Structure formats: C-alpha cells, structure tokens
Amino acid sequence: MILNVLVARGNPPLSSLVVVKTSNEQSNGVEHKLQDAHAFGRLIAIEQDSRYFRSRNERTYPMRETKKENAEPSTEKATSVIDYIVQRLADEGITDCFGVPGDYAFPVCDAVERNPNIRWVGCSNELNASYAADGYARVRGAAMLSTTYAVGELSAINGVMGAKAERSLVYHVVGMPSYQNQRVHKKVHHTFGDGVFGNFVNISAQAACCHAVIDPDNCMIEMERVITEARRNNQPAYIVVPGDYALAPVTPTEVRPVTLKSNKASLEKAVAAIAERVRGAKSIVAFPAFTLARLGLQKEARQAIEALGCPFATTTMEKSIIDESHPQFAGLYAGALSAEKARQIVEDAELVLDLGGISLNDETTAGFSGRLDSARFVSVGLNDVRIGEQVFGNVRLADVLAALAKFKSPALPYRRTPEQAQPVNGKPADKITMDSLYSRYAAFIRPGDNVVLETGSASLGLPPMTLADDVRLHIQMLWGSIGWATGATFGVALADPNRRTILITGEGSHQLTANEIGNMGRYGANPIILVLNNDGYMVERALEPYPDWSYNDLAKWRYADLPRALGCADWTTARVETIGELDAAMKAARESRSGAYIEVIGGRMDMPKALAFAHTRIKELYGSDAA
C-alpha cells in the first residue's frame, strides 16, 4: 500500500477523506498497509472496490481534560513540519506530551497547544518528565517527551536511557537552534560557544534505538522510519528539529506506513523447532517476560501457557503480569529467595520457555543466587527466536504466541496446590515493622489498581506477597534509577485514570523527584502515595559492609506536609508510627476522592528479608568483598 498525502490548506470537514490505495504488497516480513493515521488532521480512508472505509486499526483514547475548547485551526497555511510531527505521534495513541518549555522548543510546545488531540503536561524538570513519559508508555504503549536543546535533553537523558533499558517506547522530541544560525556558526546560549551544534545529538541518540534530524524534505519519510523502528524494538526514538525547519511547510512525500509482521517461512521454522523441543521435554516451565506488558500481549501469553499446560513463574520484573490466582502459576522466582517448590520447578525443568526476553540480572536473581542452565532455554524475543546456537530472525513475538496457543498438549495441565492466605501481622498499638508493613500493603491493594514500586525496599518487600487479580505492577528493576517511581506514578495515573494509582517508595528516592507532586494535583492525577521514612538510604546501608557512613543520611523532611506546600491542599495526608494509625490512614486514603499521602515511620535498619539477604551477597553483586 502506498499512502499519497497532499498538503492541506485550511481545515477540511471530517467528510473530506484522503484516498489510500491498497495492495497485498509484502516484503521481508513487513506488510505495507493502512495505519491508524490522520494526514494533517484529516481522516484517512481506504479504497477497496471503489468504496471507502476508515482505518480498521484506528484507536481512540478519551481525553481526560479538554483544554482545547477555544483552539482555532490554522487556515490558508500549509501544514508545518512540527505540526506534522505532533499529529503523527498523536496518531500513535498518545494524548499527552510531557515536558519542560524552552525557547528552542517553543515550536514544539506551540504545536502541541494547537493540536486538539494532544495535551501539554508540564513537569517540574526534564528528568521528572522523562520518568513520567516512561510510566505513561508502560500503560499506553507509547509516550511523547519534549525538551529543549542541550540543557533540557541532557537533563532528561537518564530517564530516557532507563526507558531504553526496560523497553518503554518514548518519542523524545527536541527543538534545536535554527538551521540558519547553525549554518553561520553563531555563538548562542545552550552551546559551548564554539559554533558547533552537533555536540549533543550523538549523546541523546545513544538513549534511543533510532533517531532523526528533521527538515521539511525528509520529515514524512523519517517519521515513518523512526516510528517503525521504535515499534520494532519497543524503545525510545529521538527526534530533533531546528526551529526554522519546524515552522516551514512540510514537503509532500509518498510514504509507506508499515505494520510489522513475521516472515512466514522463518515463523514456520521457528514454531516447528519450538514444537520439537516441547515434545521432547519431560518437564517445561514458562517465563512470561516484562516485554509482554509493554506490548499488551498478556492475554496472548496466558493463552499460549494454557495450551501448553505447563507451569509458569515470574521474576520481580513480571510480578502480576498474569494473575497469580491462575492454577498454573508456580510462584515468584528469585534465585535462593524463591519458595522451595517454585525454585524446584524452575531450576529442574528440562525446558525453560522464555516468552518475551526475561532479564535474569543481579536484582531478579537475588545476587545471581539461582541455578539456571542457559542451554535449557528457548527464548522468544520481540523479533527473533533463539534455541541454543540457532536463531530464527524476523519473527514477531505476537505471531509466535498465537502459534503456541494452538498447541495441543497430551499431558494433563499443571495445577498448583492452593496456598494459605498470607497473614497480616501486628496489633494496633505496635510500631510499624517491615514484617507488618508489606503484608498490609498487599492486603490494601485491590483489583484494578496500578501499583508503582521504587527500587529498593519497596521493590524487594512487596513482590513476595500475593496480590489481587487485575493488579498492574510497574517497577524499574533493571535500570534502577532512584526517584523514578515518583515521576513514573504521574505518567501512569494520567495514562490510566480509570484505575487508582498507588506509589510505594522510600524517602531517599522520593527526595529526588518529590516536587512532581505539585503537578499531580494540578492535572488531577490523585494517586495514593506511601513514603517510608526510615532515617536515610536504607538500600544503600544494606549494600555495603558499614551502613553508618554519613553519606547515607538525609535531610529530615516533614514529608506529610509536602502536598500542601506543593499546592495539593485538598489531599488526605497523615504521618503514622503505629499499625493502628497506618490502618486508619490507608482506609481514609482509599475513601478520598483526591490524592492521598501517608508518611510511614520505620526503623533505621529494619529491612525486608530480600534486602537483608542482599547484604550477605556483596561479593557476588559487586565482584569484591566491599561495595
């Protein structure tokens, strides 16, 4: 299918349709067909047998806040480069753009303000914005981040790199100095004063799987290329555009929107090879990977596992990716910290079926304490299948899952033995301990909640607990940038306002990004925030031989006062020291229609079991006896 797009003058009525001609053209596993796009704000239609149809792939997301009531469409003006970029990203299902304004990025900000399909969401700084975009992308499948040249984009780069590490698709759009100023090597602000303007492009590009410097002539072609590559890898794309080029009319170009699809022959060979390994294995365990959630393939993975009839386990990164009440769920795998039955099922299996590319890193394996043989793995990645030394390329994960779901296992499906409900410990007058805290958090979490865990005590304390069905857990276990969870909570809450978003974090991480609370109130995010105040960096104290160095201490904030100071006067807040106070505060938080913030006082060296275990494996974690 070739999409012929004409530059629109004025704003045609909705009945005005751009004609799209289709064919069955397919090459190298990529099918060129209609996408969910609007060319310059006009609906795209498909022509078949002289009849016209709207895109069958078009997705709609309700806007939570209509800030465009008075927006006026531009008239008698060819569509600009930046308007095309913003609308093309809106066509990917993005309805919010996170960012911080800057003069070189004004064209981007203005285009977002003009566009009726996407809302500007201002953040307190670029790092927070990148974290929020990451959280949003984990829910929606893609996000937009806008920063200014150099100082803005470099402030955001840690968050964008984290999104790359954890397969979260963020389109990072950066406004840079005009081509005219670049051409004459002007010495302008946000530069080294050397008249060189390409110093930072390669740096930001390293945080993405693809990038493009946009001009009017390449705009349409390059946007399709970066969107396709970003979707293929489910990782960030970096899009940079000079200010004068951003405002110039886009050059009409014949473009080919693509839908990623497996090569048929390669897919058949991969599925046959998997089937052979499955038939020959006496015992199988499946590992559904975190990437399934990024791509929205949890249902497809569950159907494949049910067809195979084998048990499945998850690591912390995949906690609750499939409901833990499922009869084939064998438990959480965390190396030596696994329940004995779960560890036996995983480590003794003749075949380990990796669905999506699990990350067996130092965090998910409890300091490499597991006993897993890579020779037993069959790994189904986003774009290939690996069996030993054999690789089947150009094979998409969704297609492999669909094929696995058609398997007919001759064996009876695995059924786990129901476990007793986990106890909720402690009496109302008792001081809060880790043993009593995380069991209460688990009981507090309801079906339909989004839960965001910070790296550290939260990411190690809650996952061993069984959670309710239909809970979506978000965690940055691999990249592990402290402060991520507070910013990500903002993005998660805006991306999915129909679910209650709960943030569980520690004070050390929270101090990095707590200023984003003000924007949560500003945009009506209304999360429940649970902050553990235990007098310093608990995770740092746990990961070194001597925990009492002064650099593990923190400024003593009055955390429960933060929401009011940051403009959230209607939030429910509390500071709790006993179990009774915690129970009452959580009840009030759940009943609150606005946001809620609870400061939880804990012991200085009271830590979850998994974190205490990490303290015993310093050599395995860091390659030496001292961190």
Q: What is the pLDDT of residues 519-558, one digit of tens each?
A: 999 999 999 999 999 988 888 887 887 888 888 889 999 9
Nearest-CA neighbor of 449 among 503, 393, 506? 503
Helix H or strand E segment including 306: helix 298-308
Strand intervals (E) in 216-283: 237-242, 254-255, 258-260
Tokens of 338: 């696994």
Query: pTM of the entire structure?
Result: 0.87
Q: Provide the CATH topology of domain 64-254.
A: Rossmann fold (3.40.50)
Torsional sign, CA 602, 605, 486, 381: negative
Segments of the chain assigned to CATH 3.40.50.1220: 264-404
- Residue pLDDT, tens place only, 387-419: 999 999 999 999 999 999 999 887 789 998 877
**Residue 152 in 3-state DSSP?**
helix
Strand 237-242 with 170-176, pairing: parallel
What is the structure's pLDDT at 546? 80
Q: Which CATH class is domain 264-404?
A: alpha beta
Q: How far apart are CA 487 and CA 8, in angstroms?
A: 38
Superfamily grouping for domain 434-622: Thiamin diphosphate (ThDP)-binding fold, Pyr/PP domains (3.40.50.970)
Tokens of 606: 């009271």
Segments of the chain assigned to CATH 3.40.50.970: 64-254, 434-622
**Residue 619 in 3-state DSSP?**
helix
Phi, psi values for residue 550, rounded to 5°? -65, -25
- Residue pLDDT, tens place only, 584-624: 999 999 999 999 999 999 998 888 887 877 777 777 777 76
Q: Tokens 């003749």 label which residue?
A: 350
CA angle 14, 16, 20 (to 5 degrees): 115
The parts of the chain modelled with pLDDT lower than 50 are: 1-76, 627
What is the structure's pLDDT at 325? 95
End-to-end CA distance of the chain: 57
Q: How far apart are CA 175 and CA 109, in angstroms?
A: 9
